Structure formats: C-alpha cells, structure tokens
Structure 1
Amino acid sequence: MGSSIGANIRRERDRRGWSQARLAREVCRAAEVQGEPVGRQEVSRWETGKRTPREWLPFIAAALGVSVDVLREPQKPIERPLPTLADFLPNENPLAPPRVREGRRVGMGQVEDLQQRVHGLRLADDVLAGGDLIRPAFRELRSAVRLYRESSYSGEVGRELLRQVGELAQIAGWIASDAGLHAEAERIYRLGISAAAQAEDRTLAGNLAGSLAYQLSNIGREVEGLQLARAALDRAGLDVPPKARALYLDRVAWAHTKTGEAQPAMRALGEASDVLTQDSTGAESPAYLYWVDAGELQVMESRVYTELRRPLRAVPLLRDVLSRYDVTHTRELALYLSWLAVALADANEPEEAAATANRVLALSADVASERTAERGRVVLARLEGFRDVPEVRAVLDGAA
C-alpha cells in the first residue's frame, strides 16, 4: 500500500510540475502549520515507499487537489502491449520457398523436437489462457517459420516442417483469439491453412479452416463463418479420420446456430455423434485431436440448445458435463458454467442462475481470456431481467 501511495503522490506532483520542495511547502500550507515540519527529504521518503504519510495524507491530497482515495488507489502493473504476428514474421510471404537453402541441414530429429514443443503448447492451453500464452506461441511460430525458410532438408522433412507450422498456427490462432486479438488470429489461421495446403494435409487444413470459421461465427461474421465451416467439411471429404470429421460437423452445427438455423444445426450434431461412434476405417486420428470425444460433442450440443433457447434440454446436459469436468481447466469451466447460467435464466430459475453466475465471475477474475470476459458480460446482461430477485440483484451490484 505504501509504495502505491508513494507512486500516486509522485504522479500527481509530476502532473503539476512541482519539485519535492514545492510539494513540502504546499502540504505545510494545507495543514496550516508553522515552520516546515515537512521538507523535501520527507516527500522523497513518501514517494519511494520508505515511509507512509498516514496523518499527512489528507493534507497531501488537499495540496495536490485530489481526493485521498486517488492517492490510495492501488497501482496497476504496467503490462507490455500484446505482440502482433508482424513482430515475429518476415514482411514477405513467410512460407515462400527460400531462394537458396544454404542453412544448416535439419532432419526428422529436429522436426520431432518441434512437434513436442507444439504439443506442449497445446497442453498448456488446457490450463492457461490466451493472455498468458500469446508471447510464447508467437515465438514458437516465428522459430518454426525460420527453421523452414533458413534450413536445408529433404522433401519429406520439408513437408513435415510445413505440417508442424500448420499445427502451431492452429493453436497459436486459438490462443490469439482467446486473448481477443481476432485480426491477428485470422492472419495466423490463414498462414496455417497455406502451410497445410503446401504439405498436402487435408485434415489439418480442414481443422484450421474450421477454427477460423468458429471465430468468425463468434465475432459477428456469422454468414462468413457458416460458409467457411461448410467449405472445410466439404473439402475434407469422407476419408478423413472420424474425430476430424466429427469436429468439422460440430463447427458447422455452431455456425448454423449462430445464423439462427435450428434444424440444420441439429442435423449436423446428429451426424457428428454418428461419425464419432463409427469404427475407424484405418484412418488414424492426428495427435492434436486428443481432446475430441463424446464429452466434447455433448458440450457443443448443450451450447447449441442454450443458444436456441431450449433450456430443458441444455441444463441436464451441462450439469452432466460439469459434474465430470477437470477443475484445473479454469477457462473452460468458466465458459461452460456461463452457458449453464444463461440456460437456468431461460428456464426461469433466477436464483440458481445467480449462484452459477457468481462462480463464473469468480473463476474469470484471474483468467487472461477475453472469451471468458465476454461470456461474463453475456451472463450479466441475461440476468438483468431478474433484477428484482435479491440474489440476482446482489450479483449485478457486485459486478458493477
């Protein structure tokens, strides 16, 4: 607290262009004391946090023309602005083949090392939010692109490098989107689609296109999102691994939901469930789809029902999912609870909705995710219609 007060005193003094000696004189004048019981050295001690000006604080505030609360205000940590993709990649086409490959020779060993780092970043995203991971994600993407551009390798190794660039772009794009950097996320996804296309990996290209479609559907570009989600599904074809096709169908379902088309959304959900339960025809799922399972499809189904205002179907599904969910995945837990809060409000259960909203806000408080922050705003807006309920009013007033 003392250091915050000191920093605030210095800030207000600097705004007035006063020296420490001038502030000492003005404080004595405000306190109406004779002589100079406060001098420059005392002001210096206050500003450096070596001494807290307890009894002098009202007179310092009066001298500076601010309230005591302004001087007591906690200091917010100075955060560097989030980077952009341009900070990490060359200006020209980052995946253009280098004119002359004279760099160090790389083989499958280096590709496997990169693959492990990409997977590690994906696992980190399970428990950390976009704001926490954006810098390491961009650094890894830069490193992967440089490895592809500046090294020499065989054709097979080159394709694997491109595939890893694509996988890294998918998780980096997701992280950027979670941090609220939607334009950057779109650029990263498109970079990844280019890499996957050059590597002739239709499954990866479909995953990247579907990820971008999901973002577009969520930021007010619903028609574009639906078009891209359908294109990703159609281009992938029927011979992609079942998990991949189920995921593409899930994104198509969400895109239809965001455009208000209930029946196509329900059909896509049904197809996704059918595909996932089918035996694989020899097409092994990529490691990056480890998280796609029946539980995740259930999450999407419950979200679709919530968005379509069908709470009697949404609430039991969400409660079932949440009863089994890993509490270390704070961001996802907050997100799924936000859907439950909305569904409970739609079911005319404002007290339960308020209790769930409290959990959402508590979990979101220390999560550097724009996605959870936005969902918190959606929940509060939905609760406004029940402001006369004491439990709801307490939540709304507390958030305000």
Structure 2
Amino acid sequence: MGPGDLAPVRDMVSLFSRADQRHGGGHARTAVVQYLVSDVSPMLRGHFTDARVRREMVSAAAELSYLSGWMAFDNGEHAVAQHYFTLAVSLAAEADDPPLAGHVLRAMAHQAVDLGHPREAVRLASAAVEGQRYASAAPRERALLGIVHARALAAAGQRRAAATWLVRAEDDLAAADAGDDEPGRVFFFSEASLAHETARALAATGDLAGAQREFRRSVRTRKASTFTRTHAVTLGYLGAVQARRGAIEEACVTWSRALGAMEGIHSARTRRIATDMRSALSPMRGRGVSAVAELDRRAATYLAESA
C-alpha cells in the first residue's frame, strides 16, 4: 500500500467527525467501528511501500479508534469509550505520533471530569500536555490540550493552576493561523469551543458570572449549523447557570433555544441536559406557568424520541 491508500481513510475520518458534530455520537458510531474493524484494521497487516506510509496509516487507524471512543462517550457508553480510547493511545504510540496521543488523553480527561473523577482527570490531562505531546502539537491543538487541563484542575479545586492554563490556552489559540500545518482532527476547535470549556472551568470554581459570560461568547461565536450538538449543549449549560443565578425567565428562554437545537441529535449529553432542565423546573410545575409547562413537555418529548 502507498500514499494513495491513505486519502480514502482520512476522508472517512473527516466524514464521520462532521456527522458526530452535527448529529451526536449515537448517530453513526456502529458504522465507524465497522469501518475500523472491517476495512482499516486489515490494511495494517498489509505490505507498505515504506515505513512512513505505514506510520501514517496507523495514525489514521488511531484517529478512527479515538472517534469511536468519543462517539461512545457522547452517547453515554463509557466502558466502550474507554476501550477505544486506550486502543487509540496504543496506536498513536506505535505510529510515533505524540500530539495524537495527547489528543486522546485529553478526551479521556474530559470523560473523567464529566464522570466526577477529578483526580483521574488531572492525571490524564497532565499526561496530555507532557513532553512532545504538547510541545510538538500545532497551536490549535495545544490550546485544546491546555483548556481541558484547566478544566480538570478546576474540577480538582486547583484554582490558581487552572487560571494559569486558561491563559495559556487563550494564548495558544491566538497563535493559531489559517496557514498552520495542523491535523484535521482539530477542525472543530475555535473561539467558541475555547469559551465553552472556559465557562465549564469557571463554573467549577463557583464563578457563575464568568461562566455565563463565556457561555454567551461561545453561543455568539459558534457556527451552529455545523456544530449543532455542541451548540445545543452550550445553550443547555448557559440556561443552567442562569437558573442558578436566579434568572429563571432568562433561563427558560435559553432552554427553549437549546431544545430547538437538539432536534435530531442523538447524544447522552443532550439527554442529560433535558433531564436536568426538567429537574430544575420541577418546583414550578404546579404553579400554572405556561412557559414552564411547555418547556417541560418539550423536554419530555425529546427524551422519549431520542432514547
């Protein structure tokens, strides 16, 4: 196999990545796994024209394994996600691709934060920014590794260290340029993504005003038609922060937008937002507030249809 065999695999990684961003991890995850197992894995056992081509094919397989894990994570299949993440780290090491290994470790840290394991999240996020995983990464990818490190530190109560990494991530993203030689896997990471993760870190430290500001920046700067799943998630988190700050009417407006964006999304994270929304609204259900009743009905419908 030669360089021409790499292009179709990379095209499929890009196709599946964009489908995940628009429709959620529950939409085509089994198709990604099938492609990895039936098409790409046999290629790794074939003959290559040179060692470089083989390394690049192993990297492509690692990205597919990472994507299988990420989509499983997004769909709430956490043990499956950890299996594919672990495989992806192993393949990245075989391909001698430190930034890709860092990318996957960052995803594992993200999962650990969301599952409420801050110490494990810090361990994984620290590994993601260690040595060449961070140093040899493109600026955009460094920003991604750094912002998740900040989130993990914030979740673990290490506010000062988290603040340092928040600033570093901002600086790294500011250094990214359209002409950079950066991997396609970071196509999604932009100002909107950085603002979203910054908001989550600030919320973890109790800075709700700062979290609200950053969630609003994320909503304002994201291309919602392309990154629909994350847009819906951001709106859901923004509504939750507004409700915690006592602005329940404002939260209802935001949650209504979130539910609108969730249409057609298959993601455990959006389902969790709809569930949390119903819990937050439950004290007001019996008060005859039509907006609350309508939101509750829509959230219940979404949960039933996306199950």
Structure number with larger C-alpha Rg: 1
For residues 397 and 369 of structure 1, the distance between their equivalents in structure 2, rounded to whole angstroms, comes to 19
| 1:310-325 map, 5 Å | 310-325=207-222
- Secondary structure, counterpart of 1:292 in structure 2: coil
**What does the per-residue CA deviation read over 1:359-378, in whole Å, with 9 as the maximum and x for residues that have no partner?**
33344353211111112223
Is contact 2:139-2:173 (8 Å) kept? yes
For residues 256 and 357 of structure 1, the distance between their equivalents in structure 2, rounded to whole angstroms, comes to 28
- Secondary structure, counterpart of 2:223 in structure 1: coil
CA change 1:239–1:152 in 2 (3 A) is: closer
Please tell me whether residue 394 in structure 1 is matched to residue 289 in structure 2: no
For residues 163 and 278 of structure 2, the distance between their equivalents in structure 1, rounded to whole angstroms, comes to 28
Is contact 2:256-2:295 (8 Å) kept? no
For residues 209 and 391 of structure 1, the distance between their equivalents in structure 2, rounded to whole angstroms, comes to 45
- Provide the TM-score with structure 1 as the length reference: 0.67
Q: What is the CA-CA distance between 1:182 and the residue it aligns to?
A: 0.9
Which of 165, 169, 181 matches 2:77?
A: 181
Is contact 1:351-1:389 (8 Å) kept? no
Q: What is the CA-CA distance between 1:273 and the residue it aligns to?
A: 0.7
Equivalent residue pairs, number: 293
Q: Give the match for residue 146 of structure 1.
A: 42
Q: What is the CA-CA distance between 1:290 and the residue it aligns to?
A: 1.9
For residues 396 and 127 of structure 1, the distance between their equivalents in structure 2, rounded to whole angstroms, comes to 23
Relative contact order (alpha carbons < 8 A, sep ≥ 6): 1 or 2 greater? Answer: 2
- Matched residue type, 1:320: R
Bigger proportion of residues as helix? 2
**What does the per-residue CA deviation read over 1:148-187, in whole Å, with 9 as the maximum and x for residues that have no partner?**
12x1113222111101011112222111111211111111
- Matched residue type, 1:394: A
For residues 107 and 171 of structure 2, the distance between their equivalents in structure 1, rounded to whole angstroms, comes to 21
Gaps of 5+ in 1: 1-105
Which of 194, 198, 201 matches 2:97?
A: 201
- Matched residue type, 2:275: R
Which of 220, 224, 239 matches 2:116?
A: 220
Gaps of 5+ in 2: 301-307
- Secondary structure, counterpart of 1:334 in structure 2: helix
- Secondary structure, counterpart of 1:291 in structure 2: coil
Which of 106, 111, 119 matches 2:6?
A: 111
For residues 274 and 206 of structure 2, the distance between their equivalents in structure 1, rounded to whole angstroms, comes to 18
RMSD: 2.4
For residues 347 and 389 of structure 1, the distance between their equivalents in structure 2, rounded to whole angstroms, comes to 22
- Matched residue type, 1:224: E
Please tell me whether residue 160 in structure 1 is matched to residue 56 in structure 2: yes
Q: Give the match for residue 332 of structure 1.
A: 230
Q: Give the match for residue 273 of structure 2.
A: 375
Q: What is the CA-CA distance between 1:385 and the residue it aligns to?
A: 5.8
Please tell me whether residue 366 in structure 1 is matched to residue 264 in structure 2: yes
Q: What is the CA-CA distance between 1:124 and the residue it aligns to?
A: 1.8
- Provide the TM-score with structure 2 as the length reference: 0.86
